């Protein structure tokens, strides 16, 4: 397996109330990991929304 040579750089932009992290030249492995995290977050959000919707059914009188 050939090792991927990538010149990744992390840049942090700070303001008085926010911090933004920018990754320049990300590797394929990092992009795949970020996609996996996004998919997990999406599924988790769907689960939470389903639970909230079910609870609203019980609360309504």
pLDDT for position 51: 82
pTM score, whole prediction: 0.57
Q: How much is the pLDDT for 40?
A: 96
Residue with tokens 């959000």: 45
* pLDDT value for 32: 93
pLDDT in the model for residue 11:
87
32 phi-psi bin (left φ>0, alpha ψ -120 to 50, beta other) = alpha
Given a contact cutoff of 8 angstroms between Cβ atoms, the answer to whether 9 and 22 are in contact is: no
pLDDT < 70 regions, the chain: 1-4, 6, 55-61
Angle 48-51-54 (CA atoms, 0-180°, nearest 5)?
Answer: 150
Per-residue confidence (pLDDT) for residue 42, from 0 to 100: 95
């Amino acid at each position: 397996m050939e090792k991927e040579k990538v010149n990744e750089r992390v840049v942090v932009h700070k303001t008085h109330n926010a911090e933004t992290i920018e990754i320049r030249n990300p590797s394929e492995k990092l992009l795949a990991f970020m996609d996996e995290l996004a998919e997990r977050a999406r599924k988790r959000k769907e689960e939470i929304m389903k639970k909230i919707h079910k609870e609203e059914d019980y609360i309504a009188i």
